[in-house]
Structure 1
Amino acid sequence: MKSLRCAIRAWSLALGMLLLALPQPSRADNGILGAGSTFAFPVLAVWGYDLLNKGGFDYRAIGSGGGIKSIVANAVDFGASDAPMKPEELRERGLVQFPFIMGGVVPAANLPGIESNKLNLTGPLLAKIFMGQVRRWNNPEIRQLNPDLTLPPIDITVVHRADGSGTTWIFSDYLTKVSSDWANTLGTDKEIAWPVGIGADGNSGVAEKVRSTVGAIGYMEFGAAMAKKLTLLRMQNRQGNFIAPSMESFQAAAAHADWKHAPGFFMVLTDQPGAEVWPIAGVTYALLPAHSDHPTQTRRVLAFFDQCFEQGQKTAAILQYVPMPPSLVDTIRHRWDEQLSFRSIHLDPAALGTRVGQK
């Protein structure tokens, strides 16, 4: 199963590169055009594959910040962001948002001789590394947490995002919660004034930079780390347990989320309670105009996501994402009816000319 997941993810990334190379479809072509999160890029590439030759699907992985700017400028049919917008921000910009995929952000390293899921870190220590306060892998604080490991006496190279990123928002939100030093100096944002390190674009860019740099550590979407076969690290969660990143630990982070009572679906899944919880989990949101100038196009976008919820969840799981629970999907569809006046009573899958996620 692991090799199948890696093969499908590699295929999805190759497909994504093809999407980026193709001419950008226009609304006049009845294509669907989206932009934003690189976190969700692999699964959107696969979900959109059937649409590629049947009306057109183009998703530009330019980072969550770019996705928000694009939908606000009415330059795309939907934006995608890993950083949720607060209800007042949605109202101010005339947008609605809904979650469509969940997953984990993981610290991953290039550490020769250290196996995945063997090295332990705490949140405050991770913050020190990314603030440049801990600069060697054999630092006493790291050794104290890992007495059974022979840590290499090499420098730590921090790799971070160079673009405006929802993955950065999730990561920095977690560090803000667990480190007062981080909270007081850097805080939570899609772009951080990094005191150390080198930047790379996108999750895959960070993963590749870590892969090619001995001693490097970066943060990225789980599947990107798996695809590059990086050394995964165990993180101490809120209950004090050291947890390895996995589908199960990501699902545990979302287990108690009360989506039904979350205004505007605003939900943050970092540092959640629970014995088996991965502490750096996140959600990717689709952003749409509340009052669209192109209602037919927006209905097509909703029909696309409707089918993804129905038929694309197994694919999401294979790609190391957490599928949307049925109860949450029901809540999302109910919100569509409440918030989008142009939303048709019944979304006809035939309008897309395809069945998403099925081959």
Structure 2
Amino acid sequence: MKVKKTLLTVGLLVLAMGTAQAQKLTAAGATFPYPMYSKWFAEYSAAHPGVEINYASIGSGGGIAQVTKGTVDFGASDMPMTDEMLASSPVKLIHIPTVLGADVPAFNVAGVTDLRFSGDVLADIFLGKITNWNDPRIAKDNPGAKLPDQKIIVVHRSDGSGTTFIWTDYLSKVSKEWASGPGKGTSVAWPVGVGGKGNENVAGLVRQLPGALGYIELIYALQNHISFASVKNAAGNYIKASIEGVTEAAASVKQMPADYRVSITNAPGANAYPISSFTYLLIPVKGTNQANRAVLKDLLSWMLKTGQSQASSLSYAPLPNSLIEKELKTVYSLQ
């Protein structure tokens, strides 16, 4: 009964706003889910005249910085904030998972459209220990492939990035040298390579540079027609990123933490894609503008109930139903 009452209150507030002044929400953060958010926010605004949602795709680091300063209504990050980050934030925040996605190793090698990588090989390429495409270790993963005698150009993010966190979280699990060296984070000290800002620019560099290898979110590879490799998972199988593979990785979480912060890279499961992740919205626990707050709560519930059916069209994996029910209770409890 409480949930129904809350929904009725939110609905009446949104209706009232439609006859009053326009409501504008501002947000900033991750580029990883930007294609999904762009579609969702446009469709929500179209269905709710007078509501405008402005989202700046500036990377998870920027999103965390802006929401903790209180300069946006909500932020977005692929990296769950650490205990220290949450404790030091002037704004008390909660994490709301929205969809699941995948980082893929995108490459530009003439005459080669299909490759396979073991995790340790990927780590050593990004460490600068493997520098040529015809290296014996790459050849071992790819018997029969015509690998050229060509230098590998590593491409990475130059900005604070949740996509980078997912990638380096994975590399830290499959390579002790990576874990004890660059480690994991939204920004790391890259041993080699060239940087691009945002998934969009990394995708562009991979397309432009012969011999390039970079990491981008799956939809950016598909939209830009960039080849991407299969990756050896924890079960020893080479898996190409797909909605099914990401969904199986998510299934490895048997008990979702109360605060939703979890890592699913290198998950167990025969067909789990190993570089998968939830992506999150960072929501202030309390709001100061009642009308904006009503819109935000309605937007979140719309994303969880209606928006999930659109995720697969952009190659994101929808959230499990059990998780959606849990999140809706969290959304309805927001003040």
- TM-score, length basis structure 2: 0.89
* Structure 2: gaps of 5 or more residues: 1-20
Cα deviation, 1:269-303, whole Å, max 9, x if unaligned, reads 10100110100001111111122223432331121
Query: Mapping of 1:13-92 within 5 angstroms?
Result: 29-50=22-43, 51=45, 54-86=50-82, 89-92=85-88
**What is the alpha-carbon distance in structure 2 between the residues aligned to residue 191 and residue 97 of structure 1?**
20
Residue 56 (structure 1) shift? 1.1
Aligned: 1:220 with 2:213: no
1:317 corresponds to which residue? 312
Distance 2:228 2:37 in 1: 24
Amino acid at match of 1:301: L
Determine the structure 1 residue equivalent to 2:108: 110
Q: How many residues in Structure 1 have an aligned counterpart in Structure 2? A: 310
1:163 match: secondary structure: coil
Q: Give the superposed CA RMSD.
A: 1.6
Q: CA deviation at 1:328?
A: 0.8
Show the counterpart of 1:182.
178
Indicate the residue corresponding to 2:134 in structure 1: 138
Q: Deviations over 1:88-117 (max 9, x none)?
A: 6435421111101111111110011112xx
Cα deviation code 1:299-321 (max 9, x no counterpart): 31121121122222232110000
Q: Which residue of 1 aligns with 2:252?
A: 256
* Letter aligned with residue 282 of structure 1: S
Distance 1:259 1:300 in 2: 30
Q: Is the 8 A contact 2:26 2:72 kept in 1?
A: yes
Cα 1:280–1:49 change in 2 (3 A) is same
Quote the residue 2:262 is aligned against: 267
Higher mean alpha-carbon deviation, 83-92 vs 33-42, is at 83-92
SS of equivalent residue, structure 1 residue 31: strand
Q: Name the stretch that deviates more: 86-95 or 247-256.
A: 86-95
1:96 is matched with which residue? 94
Structure 1: give runs of 5+ residues left out of the alignment: 1-27, 343-359
Q: Distance in 1 between matches of 2:314 and 2:324?
A: 19
Q: What is aligned with 1:158?
A: 154
**Matched-pair identity in %:** 37
Q: Which amino acid aligns with 1:110?
A: N
8 A contact 1:103–1:250 mirrored in 2: yes
